[in-house]
């Protein structure tokens, strides 16, 4: 029998926080979501949001179970049917150089006979999440700055105090407030950070040739460039390069859009023919922020508040949805004696999430590091490792299985 007891406050109405609130409402008496900003209700219109997610089959299943997936405008969903990943690192190619024939570069193809992921714009996902939230009895509130967060008292309750003196009390606080999580800081949880000294250039393009549902990615000594499919002949790019290079590319886009576009086309070996930029060009600084603990009595961190990772594998939100799935399962199967913020229950969540989180954080960290180095050993690992990986159906299947499960 399902137990619906306890009050939950989710701080942060991002893509992970709202999903978490909807999932926990099935098992709690009352769930509230708080954010310092109103919910995104921007019309999608004819423009395409250049903040995009590649959502894994596991994330899709979770969003389906919450009644969110069916609310995503189907015309804004693009399945990724295959991935092609190239290693340029030792071919002497930079975006400013003459492109090497793409056919001569080591390449790995991923295809599983089913979509590997689905591309969705941030605004389309947020509109669907907000729709599901409004249709539920989960409350949403814009709140002032949080001043204090108490420890759990004898009754297992925590108190959040806001600027202006308002107080809110609950048995479980979910910190879903992103990389700079205030809940994490107020709970006294340390973080491990790493500055990648690089940034991601993000923008959308119309392309001359169809992408055919393929996500393309080029690893080079300069950085990692991804072409991600959007509806029609459109793509979204995420180009992780040094901070200076990213600033240079953004300036180039401002001063000479034609040269910027040519640079992006060369970086992708002219794979999709002529490009046209159809969005603003944004730059996002890249770092890694890992919480040293993700649970305390009556408190759990999910999503980027628990683990902010490098975006090269497009797995940040997917990892967050993995947290939500495990938290929901543990809460659903709790014993009659356990409260919703029970520390033994929350520790099981932390243990279950440790392996996938560390695996993804380390994989993305090592990959971005490996392709930056110019020593001979790194070059050898890149060449031989990439080629061996590309030849091994089993390794590719295992790697894909891991990413699709997150």
- Residues that bind ligand FAD in the complex, under the rule CB under 6 A: 11-17, 34-37, 53-54, 146, 176-178, 182, 200, 202, 238, 284, 303-304, 311, 314-318, 320
Rounded least distance, CB 335 to ligand FAD, Å = 29
Task: Decide whether 261 or 289 has the Cβ nearer to ligand FAD.
Answer: 289
Q: In what order do the strands lie in the sheet with 172-175?
A: 139-142, 30-35, 7-11, 172-175, 299-301, 295-296
- Tokens 């205030």 -> residue: 182
Helix runs in 208-342, H state only: 243-255, 257-267, 316-332
DSSP state of 383: I
Task: Decide whether 21 or 54 has the Cβ nearer to ligand FAD.
Answer: 54
Rounded least distance, CB 400 to ligand FAD, Å = 15
Q: Which two tokens stand for residue 70?
A: 């069916």
Q: Which two tokens stand for residue 233?
A: 């002949």
Task: Decide whether 17 or 297 has the Cβ nearer to ligand FAD.
Answer: 17
User: What does the DSSP assignment read for 154-183?
Assistant: TTS-EEEEETTS-EEEESEEEE---TT-HH
Rounded least distance, CB 390 to ligand FAD, Å = 23
Q: Rounded distance, CA 275 to CA 269, Å?
A: 12
Of 151, 152, 76, which is closest to residue 119 (Cα–Cα)?
Answer: 76
Task: Decide whether 97 or 159 has the Cβ nearer to ligand FAD.
Answer: 159
Task: Decide whether 91 or 286 has the Cβ nearer to ligand FAD.
Answer: 286
Q: Rounded distance, CA 171 to CA 201, Å?
A: 41
Rounded least distance, CB 338 to ligand FAD, Å = 26
Of 207, 253, 257, which is closest to residue 230 (Cα–Cα)?
Answer: 207
Contact 22, 182 (CB under 8 A): no
Rounded least distance, CB 92 to ligand FAD, Å = 27
Rounded least distance, CB 154 to ligand FAD, Å = 27
**Cβ neighbours of residue 74 under 8 Å, at least 6 residues apart?**
none
Task: Decide whether 106 or 175 has the Cβ nearer to ligand FAD.
Answer: 175
**Cβ neighbours of residue 139 under 8 Å, at least 6 residues apart?**
30, 31, 32, 33
Task: Decide whether 184 or 382 has the Cβ nearer to ligand FAD.
Answer: 184
Rounded least distance, CB 310 to ligand FAD, Å = 9
């Amino acid at each position: 029998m399902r137990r619906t007891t306890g009050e939950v406050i989710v701080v942060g109405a991002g893509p992970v926080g709202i999903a978490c609130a909807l999932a926990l409402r099935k098992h709690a008496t009352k769930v509230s979501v708080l954010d310092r900003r109103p919910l995104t209700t921007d019309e999608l219109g004819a423009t395409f949001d250049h903040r995009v997610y590649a959502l894994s089959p596991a994330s899709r299943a979770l969003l389906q179970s919450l009644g969110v997936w069916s609310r995503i405008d189907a015309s804004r969903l693009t399945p990724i049917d295959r991935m092609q990943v190239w290693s340029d690192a030792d071919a002497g190619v930079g975006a400013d150089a003459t492109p090497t024939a793409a056919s001569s570069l080591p390449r790995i193809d991923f295809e599983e006979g089913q979509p590997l992921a689905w591309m969705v714009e941030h605004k389309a996902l947020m509109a669907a999440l907000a729709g599901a939230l409004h249709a539920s009895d989960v409350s949403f509130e814009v709140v002032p700055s949080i001043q204090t967060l108490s420890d759990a008292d004898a009754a297992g309750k925590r108190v959040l105090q806001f600027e202006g003196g308002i107080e809110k009390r609950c048995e479980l606080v979910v910190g879903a407030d992103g990389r700079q999580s205030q809940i994490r800081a107020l709970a006294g949880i340390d973080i491990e950070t790493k500055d990648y000294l690089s940034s991601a250039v993000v923008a959308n393009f119309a392309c001359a040739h169809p992408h055919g549902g393929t996500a393309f990615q080029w690893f080079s000594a300069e950085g990692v460039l991804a072409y991600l499919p959007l509806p029609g002949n459109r793509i979204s790019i995420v180009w992780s390069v040094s901070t200076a290079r990213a600033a240079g590319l953004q300036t180039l886009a401002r001063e000479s859009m034609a040269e910027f576009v040519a640079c992006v086309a060369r970086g992708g070996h002219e794979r999709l023919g002529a490009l046209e930029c159809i969005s603003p060009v944004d730059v996002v600084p890249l770092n890694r922020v890992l919480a040293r603990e993700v649970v305390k009595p009556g408190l759990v961190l999910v999503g980027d508040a628990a683990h902010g990772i490098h975006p090269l594998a497009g797995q940040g939100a997917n990892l967050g949805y993995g947290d939500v799935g495990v938290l929901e399962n543990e809460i659903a199967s709790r014993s009659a004696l356990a409260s919703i913020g029970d520390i033994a229950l929350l520790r099981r969540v932390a243990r279950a999430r440790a392996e996938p989180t560390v695996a993804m954080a380390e994989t993305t960290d090592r990959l971005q590091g490996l392709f930056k180095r110019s020593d001979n050993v790194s070059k050898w690992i890149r060449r031989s490792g990439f080629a061996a990986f590309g030849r091994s159906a089993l390794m590719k299947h295992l790697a894909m299985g891991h990413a699709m499960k997150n």
